[in-house]
Amino acid sequence: MKSKKLAQLVVDALDDLKGESIRTINVEKLTAITDYMVIATGRSSTHIKALADSVATRVKEADVEVVGIEGKMQSEWVLVDVGDVVVHIMLAPVRALYNLEELWSFDAAVGSKPIGSSEGPAEA
């Protein structure tokens, strides 16, 4: 599955369970580790776990391997690695503290747009 389509699948899984402020950042030119970062906010640790499970289930249904899931024990920040897409699901205070959008968008802002989001173009 192409990475852009996989990123859209992840966004849809997050959106279906009411993930908040979903952003997709194209990082192909910044790192060889992954093509897209998807960042979303959950309302509680329980919501974050459900969002991570939804992403993992949807990805597996598409016959794509989930490389790993980290942080489910504390559930303030869960990372779901599906290879070409890395998903960060965080509580709002944690997301504000680490500000991953700014970290990963500094040079990619030209080619970075939220996929399937009504937020408009990503801002650097």
76 within a domain of the structure (yes/no): yes
Three-state SS at 90: strand
Q: How is the chain split among helix, strand and coil, in percent rounded to 5? A: 40, 25, 40
62 within a domain of the structure (yes/no): yes
117 within a domain of the structure (yes/no): no
122 within a domain of the structure (yes/no): no
- Dist CA 95 CA 101 (whole Å): 9
53 within a domain of the structure (yes/no): yes
Query: Is the pLDDT at 119 greater than 80, yes or no?
Result: no
pLDDT for the residue numbered 106: 57
Mean pLDDT, range 87-96, rounded to an integer: 95
123 within a domain of the structure (yes/no): no
* Domain CATH for 91: 3.30.460.10
Residue with tokens 């939220």: 114
In terms of Cα–Cα distance, which of 63, 6, 72 is closest to 34? 6
Model pTM score = 0.81
Number of domains comprising the chain: 1
Q: Which structural domain, as residue segments, surrounds residue 20?
A: 3-109
Mean pLDDT, range 34-51, rounded to an integer: 95
Q: What is the CA radius of gyration of the chain?
A: 13
